[in-house]
Structure 1
Amino acid sequence: MLLQLAIIGILIALLPLSYVFVRGSRDKYRKLVWITAFLTLDLIMFGSFTRLTDSGLGCPDWPGCYGHSNPHAAMEPIAAAQTALPSGPVTHVKAWIEMIHRYFAMGVGVLIIALMVLAWVKRKELRQSPWYATGVLVLVCVQGAFGAFTVTMKLQPVIVVTHLMLAMGLLASLIWLGSRNEAPHAVAPRAAGLRWPGIVALTLLVIQIFLGGWVSTNYAVLACTDFPLCNGQLIPEMDFRHGFTLWRQLGMTADGNYIPHSALVAIHWVHRGFAFVVLGYLAWFALRARRLEGLTRHARWLLAVLALQLATGLSNIVFDWPLIAAVAHNGGAALLLILLLRLNYNIGLATRTAGAAAQPSVAARAT
């Protein structure tokens, strides 16, 4: 079974690898980084689709499905589980969704292995340490381990959220690596003044992504069924203690009782309230950044994706959590992360340029 799964992962990775290595371009490493980053974004969105369709336990073992490499070979145990619990987490459709997600993840893993090998082989030509690409491989291995824990620990919320945050961290690492391998371009020197605002914006977004993942994994999206109020109240009854207890089973409190609705309301309300803080700050940051050379394009995209996030977030409440809007909301969070990383990287270029320019001036004054 493990050999079959490995072959599937290699076959999935062959198409993007062929595109990179068969074409005559000399810049293979950079292209492989960006293709892997793009597929990682797709994987994050398909992961959200897997979670939102309640397919996370479509195959309740790991890495295969009832000891097989594909759900077709496991038709009998899947049918038995579906017959015993027709509304349960195991169905033929959910099993395929879960396994396609795993196949896709293995393909991305193969691409990152190829990326690391290429970084070591071409380390002199690339003129950068191959240890960064090696670190990305370590990160994807840790991510895979938490993917296994997600199944074996029956969708325990803190494990699922950690799996999500590691996926976002993997995407961020690939975006940063891709940015480092691009040709430097002009950035307005004044952009250096946005260094700390950019770091704050990125920090706020990471917190909000965690809160959004906590809402999703606890199925608290519809805990508040109206907007701008929450169940007809500005400040509803909320149970923060049970809502934000990290180590507990899905749908349960740490004491083993069913989680109260007020705890789900607390989870939803905190995410909703903090969203306005993040939305306001990121909009202010983007408006400042769009006036500066080298930041304009990414800043405009940031404003556009912020509008998309607001629309999809509200539609989840108003239209009772439509699947396409929920997946788009998860993808929008990843896009915001990409754009903020690109902006922070370019601001870093301006900061380094300003520092290099200041050194001759200091030396001249000393002379």
Structure 2
Amino acid sequence: MDRITRIYRKLVFLTWFLTLDLIMFGAFVRLTDSGLGCPDWPGCYGSTSPLGSLPEIDQAVRTMPYGPVSLSKAWIEMVHRYVGATLGCLIIAILYMAWRYRRHLGRSPALATATLAAVCLQGAFGAWTVTHRLMPAVVTAHLAIGLILLGLLTALAAREKPHRALAAAARRFRPWVGVGLLLLSLQILLGGWVSTNYAALACMDFPMCQGAWVPPMDFRDGFSLIRALGELPSGQAISQAALTAIHWTHRNFAFVVFLYLVPLAWRLRAEAGVRGPATLLLCLLLAQLLTGLTTIFFQWPLAVAVLHTGGAAAITLVMVLILVRLGTAGGPPVTSAR
């Protein structure tokens, strides 16, 4: 492998890994209520770090001791922004190499270009998350675009990772995997909606919810999109019935996704070129089920809640990896040499 190809691949894998980490750290920001730790953007009270904003942060804490601003929350939020900026710079470097050495690498730069567009959009929604005061629709969209970005980078990395050849007949699984990815995406959006509305503890028992299979719920208010955090479009506080509808929908749709993906992953294990990812998918689905149940039984512990978000991201990247590999079915194996 020549030097340019080696550098490009290392850059792609580093950026892919950092994106996965950033998604999990974004969950940590949200779950620690640090999204408004610095209530302006891109700086913190106009400074590049909380060190330059100590008087403003101290005043905010004195004014509202249990409010969204504190020194620790400011650092959590700003570290998230620093890592996001680093990610953007790495993707620009990938785009440069993808265009500059496109003939040498033997790859179209279209996917790298789409990745840059996604990270720019992600940055915009990151800013709107702050300026719209954690509006649930904006925060959920921020998560969704982050997962799209992870999917694009996974596709970039999958093209570079060696794997065994797949028979042409394996292509028949692509539509099934595509449907599975759509179901998974919907479930992740529902999970994001639970998190951004702080509805994770709306049902404290399992398998029933509030002692009933179908508890009192308000789907219209629960899934109204254009509203502020904790409020309805009318300005009234969101009801417990609305929060229950959000939680109940996410919980029960999880079984639909599980019942679809588990048999699919088991069947994919028969294909040598995707046996490893399919086995990993089964393990991740089981782990995701366990972390989801743990958040209920142990009242949403922070570490487990972050792992639950990370599990959703990991399942997404494995699904994308399988989809990309199935796209090479009938062709030669992908090798590390060029």
TM-score scaled by length of structure 1: 0.88
For the pair 1:276 / 2:255, whether they are aligned, the reply is yes
Alignment of 1:18-37 (within 5 A): 26-37=5-16
Q: Which residue of 2 aligns with 1:241?
A: 220
Q: Is the 8 A contact 2:61 2:70 kept in 1?
A: yes
**From 165, 178, 187, the counterpart of 1:186:** 165
Moved more, 152-161 or 115-124: 115-124
> What amino acid is the match of 1:174?
L
* Residue-by-residue CA offset, 1:129-168 (whole Å, 9 max, x unaligned): 2232122112111110100000000000000000000000
Listed as ranges, the matches of 1:139-218 within 5 Å are 139-183=118-162, 185-218=164-197
Structure 1 segment 344-355 matched on structure 2, within 5 A: 344-350=323-329, 353=331
What do residues 212-241 of structure 1 show as CA deviations (whole Å, max 9, x unaligned)?
Answer: 000000000000011001011110000000
Alignment deviations for residues 92-145 of structure 1 (CA, whole Å, 9 cap, x no partner): 100000000000100111100111111121111012222321221121111101
Report how far residue 192 of structure 1 moved: 2.0
Query: Which amino acid counterpart does residue 82 of structure 1 have in structure 2?
Result: V
1:13-162 map, 5 Å = 26-162=5-141
Alpha-carbon deviation of 1:183? 4.4
Say which of 314, 323, 335 aligns to 2:302. 323
- Determine what percentage of the aligned residue pairs are the same residue: 51
Q: Check if 1:339 corresponds to 2:318.
A: yes
CA distance in 1, matches of 2:22, 2:71: 21
Q: Secondary structure at the match of 2:35?
A: coil
Deviates most, 109-118 or 133-142: 133-142
Matched letter for residue 97 of structure 1: I
Alpha-carbon distance in structure 1 between the residues aligned to 2:331 and 2:50: 55
Letter in 1 for 2:229: L
Which AA in structure 1 matches 2:209? C
Corresponding residue for residue 255 of structure 1? 234
Could you tell me how far 1:189 is from its partner in structure 2?
Answer: 3.6
Query: 1:228-280: per-residue Cα shift (whole Å, max 9, x none)?
Result: 01011110000000000011000000111100000000000000000001011
Correspondence 1:289 to 2:268: yes
- Deviation of 1:24 (Å): 5.8
Structure 1 residues without counterparts, runs of 5 or longer:
1-22, 355-367
- Measured in 2, the distance between the counterparts of 1:346 and 1:69 equals 43
2:335 is aligned to none
In 2, distance between residues paired with 1:214 and 1:157?
A: 7
Conserved 8 A contact 1:116-1:137: yes
Residue of structure 1 equivalent to 2:336: none
Alpha carbons 1:116, 1:130 under 8 Å: kept: yes
Tell me the C-alpha RMSD between the 2 structures: 1.5
Give the Cα separation in 1 of the matches to 2:163 and 2:300: 43
1:188 to partner: Cα distance = 3.5
Cα distance in 2 for residues equivalent to 1:130 and 1:301: 29
Query: Does the 8 Å CA contact 1:190/1:292 hold for their aligned counterparts?
Result: no
Cα separation, 2, equivalents of 1:193 and 1:141: 35
Find the aligned partners of 1:237 and 1:174 in 2 and give their Cα distance.
42
Q: Structure 1 residue 349: deviation in Å?
A: 1.5
For residue 48 of structure 1, report the CA deviation from its aligned partner: 0.3
Rg larger for: 1
1:157-191 residue CA offsets vs partner (Å, 9 max, x unmatched): 00000000000000100111122234463114442
Q: Is the 8 A contact 2:5 2:105 kept in 1?
A: no
- Report the TM-score when normalising by structure 2: 0.95
SS at match of 1:294: helix
Alpha-carbon contact 2:165-2:273 (below 8 Å) kept: yes
Distance 1:202-1:234 versus aligned 2 partners, 3 A rule: same
* C-alpha contact 1:50 1:98 (8 A) present in aligned 2: yes
Unaligned runs of 5+ in 2: 333-338
* Whole-Å separation in 2 of the counterparts to 1:41 and 1:260: 34
CA contact (8 A) 1:215 1:267 kept: yes
Moved segments of 4+, more than 4 Å: 23-26
Preserved CA contact (<8 Å) 2:165 2:331: no
Aligned to 1:360: none
Out of 295, 307, 313, the residue aligned to residue 286 of structure 2 is 307
Task: Give how far 1:59 is off.
Answer: 0.2
